[in-house]
Amino acid sequence: MAEFTMELNDDQKQVRDWIHGFAADVIRPAAAEWDEREETPWPVIQEAAKVGIYSLDFYAQQFFDPTGLGVPMAMEELFWGDAGIALSIVGTGLAAIGVLANGTEEQIGTWIPQMYGTPDDVKVAAFCSSEPDAGSDVGAMRTRAVYDQAKDEWVLNGTKTWATNGGIANVHIVVAVVDPGLGTKGHASFIVPPGTPGLSQGQKFKKHGIRASHTAEVVLEDVRVPGSCLLGGKEKLDERLARAREKAKAGGERVKNAAMATFEASRPAVGAMAVGTARAAYEVALDYAKTRTQFGRPIIDNQGVAFQLADMRTQIDAARLLVWRASWMAVAGKPFTAAEGSMSKLYASEVAKKVTAQAVQILGGNGFTREYPVERMHRDAAIYTIFEGTSEIQRLVIARTLSGMPIR
C-alpha cells in the first residue's frame, strides 16, 4: 500500500505533462467547433487513440496506479482542455468501471477491449442506469431482465435515459431489475454486445453544456443476451439475492446494488473533472485580470477582483485535495467511513460552478460572449452537480453515512 503523498513522482509528472500537452494542442483548439456542432468529436477521439490516451492500456495504468492519483490527475488535465471533448474521450470509462467493479476476469478480458476498439477503428461504450422516472431514485427503476432458463438467455425490456454514448456505443452496460421485490438490492448489470437486436437509440438530447458529448435514450425491446453477459455470473447473483432476501426478512444491513458500486468508484474521478474545468476558468480569468486595463491600471489591482481570484484558487486547491484523498483511500482499501468519495464529488462540483461563474463576472461583457472560453466552461460546469449523483444526493449519502440514520 502506497503512503499518501501530495507530491507526484517523476513518472506521474511525465504522464501529467504529456496529457496536458495533448489537451493544449489538440483538445482546446477543437473545443469551440465541436461545442457548436453538438456532435461526437470522432477525429479527436481517434487522435487520442493514436497517441495512446484513448486506450485500455492507458486507463489500466492510471486505474492501477498504487498511489491512486493516476486517474484524477489524468481527468483534471483532459477536462482542463475541454469538458465536452474530454467526456467523449473518457465516457467509455464509466462502462469499463461497471465491468471492472462487477464482472468476472473473463468478462473483463473479453468486453473491455471491445469498448475501445483500435486506433484505426475507435469504438465507444455506454453505461445505462438512469431512466425517465428513475434518476436519483434508483429504486424506481423499471427496466426488467427476465431469465429464460431453457435458452440460458436474459431478456431485457425498458428505456434508459441520459446515457453517455447511448445508442452509438459498441458495447452497452445496462442496469436492470431482476427481482422487483428487493428494491435496489434486486438490480443487476448486463453486457449488451454489438449489434444485439432490439436495442436502439431514442432521442438525442440537445444540452446546455458538454455539447460535444453524445447523450441519448437507449430503448430495449425484447433484447436477448447470453447468460454469460450477466456481470459477475448467475451463481454470484443468486447468492447475493438470497442474502438480500434473508436480510430483508431480518431487517438487516443494506446491500449495495450494481449501479451504486459503479458510481462509488467513479465519484472522485468526476470531482477531478470538475477541478480541471474550474482550474481552466480560473487561469483565463487570472490572465485577463492582469492584462485588462480600466481607469489606467490592470483590473487585478482592485481588491474586488484580486480577492475573488484568491478565493477561486483556494477553493480549487481544496477540491483537489479532497479528490486526491478519496482516490488514495479507494486504492488503499480504506473504507469511506465519512462518505469521502461523495464529499470530493460534492465539493469539487460546487466549486466548478462557482469558479466558472466568477470567471465570467471578471471578464464582464467579454465573459458573456463565445469569443472567450469561460462562457462555455460555465455552461459545462453545470453538469457536475447533476450527473452521477446530484449535489443533493451526495449530501444525503454523506449525512446517512455520518449519522447511520435513514435520512430522507
**How many residues comprise the chain?**
408
Q: Which residue has the cell 471491445?
A: 114
- Structural contact between residues 153 and 225, judged by C-beta atoms closer than 8 angstroms: yes
- Structural contact between residues 258 and 191, judged by C-beta atoms closer than 8 angstroms: no
Alpha carbons 378 and 357: distance in angstroms, whole number: 6
Alpha carbons 345 and 326: distance in angstroms, whole number: 9
Alpha carbons 324 and 318: distance in angstroms, whole number: 10
The closest of 138, 228, 245 to 187, measured between CA atoms, is 138
Alpha carbons 296 and 90: distance in angstroms, whole number: 45
**Residue 209, phi then psi, degrees to nearest 5:** -140, -170
Catalytic site residue 388?
Answer: yes
- In angstroms, the Cα distances linking 251 to 244, 247, 254 are 10, 6, 9
Grid cell listed for 169: 456505443
Given the residues 153, 350, 388, 392, the one annotated as active site: 388
List the catalytic residues.
388
